[in-house]
Amino acid sequence: MFATCLPGLAPLVRQQLDDLPGITATCDGFDGRADIVLFGAGRGHRDRALALRTAEDVFVEVGRADRVQADDPRRIAAAIWRPQPLQRALSIWAEQQHPLAASMTFRVITRVLSENTFLRTELRRQLTEAVRRDRRRWTVADPAELEIWACEYRRGRFVAGLRLTDVRMRQHGGRSLERPGALRPTLAAAMVGLAGKPPGVLLDPCCGSGTILAEALAAGWTATGLDIDPSAVAIARRNAAQASVHVGDAQRMSLPDASAAACVTNLPFGRQYRVRGETTSWLATVLREIARVTRPGGHVVLLAPEIPRAALPPSLRPTGVVPVRLLGINVTAWSYRRLSRSRALRP
Ligand SMILES: C[S@@+](CC[C@H](N)C(=O)[O-])C[C@H]1O[C@@H](n2cnc3c(N)ncnc32)[C@H](O)[C@@H]1O
């Protein structure tokens, strides 16, 4: 099987798959649009992979091909579309989707890392022809019942599969109310994953429409959100009904010291939201507040283009950086560990 995720998230998705019983991640790569993680899942364990909230889509593998054997779209299509693995993949697809019929609609999606020897569209044409020759009653349509993807996930190496998921997976069931600038749910899930494991309160002090809060609840946290905009609070309350959400200023939170086990937020530095005044001093004030309300040992995960060192209080120790590409824009998830007072004072 294989999963796609936002570029930059493959190491995290790979780790999360490996942590699931009966699943072993084997390899990862990038097909020019998405990161790809290949994995094996035993019978009875596939549903866990399909429930992974950091993946955009999950596929059952149909076949692989290598440019070293043949850098030719017709031969790559023939290597991918072989009867025996296909039969197995189709029966898994039927278990997850709906029973197969003699007449089905299908479409082929291809992604290549280089068009030096042939175009992506030529591979799509050849794979479509291979499917047509094999399944005479299947017809091409868009949208289609079956989506067949062939992705060059490393230079020269292709993996192809039938898509088992649909847009509902990426949207995690969908927000009941939308608000501009809302975070992609899979990225919110990844940030929550970087914050460690519950129990305790996970705080989002700039919660917007509540995407991080919803993912925190799904991961088993108690979720608390604040936003300076009352209309955001009303929306977050609808989208994350089990969370406690209030109007508040992240610069002056009315929360007790060390009351949150983790703090995860998407700071207002995007195209849609900006802060008033000078950014570094705003950030320094907010980070001091975040450090105050997060308990020692807790994780802090921030999505922002940059976190200048000058804005960081001594009690937040950097632990990692995950650069992610989201709709063509580079963003970064910055992780910190809240130190105890004595450790923060140590030179
Ligand atoms: C990038 S948006 C968050 C989007 C959110 N993750 C979502 O999925 O909808 C940043 C949010 O920070 C809020 N904000 C700006 N300044 C704030 C402050 N001083 N305190 C709390 N929230 C603030 C904005 O109202 C906005 O909702």
What CATH number matches the domain at 2-169, 3.90.1150.200, 3.30.2130.30, 3.20.20.70, 3.40.50.720?
3.30.2130.30
pLDDT of 347: 60
228 CB within 6 A, ligand 1: yes
213 CB within 6 A, ligand 1: no
273 CB within 6 A, ligand 1: yes
Distance, CA 208 to ligand 1 centroid (Å)? 5
In degrees and rounded to multiples of 5, residue 281 shows phi and psi of -75, -35
Distance, CA 249 to ligand 1 centroid (Å)? 10
Q: What is the pTM of this model?
A: 0.94
Ligand 1 atom 15, closest CA: 268
What's the CA gap between 342 and 347, in Å, rounded? Answer: 10
Task: Copy the structure tokens of residue 248.
Answer: 């508040």
Low-confidence ranges of the chain (pLDDT < 70): 345, 347
Ligand 1 atom 12, closest CA: 206
Distance, CA 200 to ligand 1 centroid (Å)? 22
pLDDT of 110: 98
Testing ligand 1's pocket by substitution, the residue of 213, 227, 254, 266 carrying the most ligand atoms inside 8 A of its CB is: 227
| In the chain, ranges of CATH 3.40.50.150 domains | 178-345
Distance, CA 342 to ligand 1 centroid (Å)? 32
Testing ligand 1's pocket by substitution, the residue of 212, 273, 288 carrying the most ligand atoms inside 8 A of its CB is: 273
CATH number for the segment(s) 178-345: 3.40.50.150
pLDDT of 275: 85
**Secondary structure of the chain in the HEC alphabet?**
CEEEECCCCHHHHHHHHHCCCCEEEEEEEECCCCEEEEEEECCCCHHHHHCCCCCCEEEEEEEEEECCCCCCHHHHHHHHCCHHHHHHHHHHHHHHCCCCCCCCEEEEEEECCCCCCCCHHHHHHHHHHHHHHHCCCCEECCCCCEEEEEEEEECCEEEEEEECCCHHHHHCCCCCCCCCCCCCHHHHHHHHHHCCCCCCEEEECCCCCCHHHHHHHHCCCEEEEEECCHHHHHHHHHHCCCCEEEECECCECCCCCCCEEEEEEECCCCCCCCCCCCHHHHHHHHHHHHHHHEEEEEEEEEEECCCCHHHCCCCEEEEEEEEEEECCEEEEEEEEEECCHHHHHCC
Rounded to the nearest 10 degrees, how much is the dihedral formed by the CA atoms of 243, 229, 53, 307? -120
Which atom of ligand 1 is nearest to 282's Cα?
Answer: 19
Query: Which distant-in-sequence residues (6+ apart) come within 8 Å of 47 by Cβ?
Result: none
268 CB within 6 A, ligand 1: yes
Distance, CA 307 to ligand 1 centroid (Å)? 16
Ligand 1 atom 26, closest CA: 208
230 CB within 6 A, ligand 1: no
| In the chain, ranges of CATH 3.30.2130.30 domains | 2-169
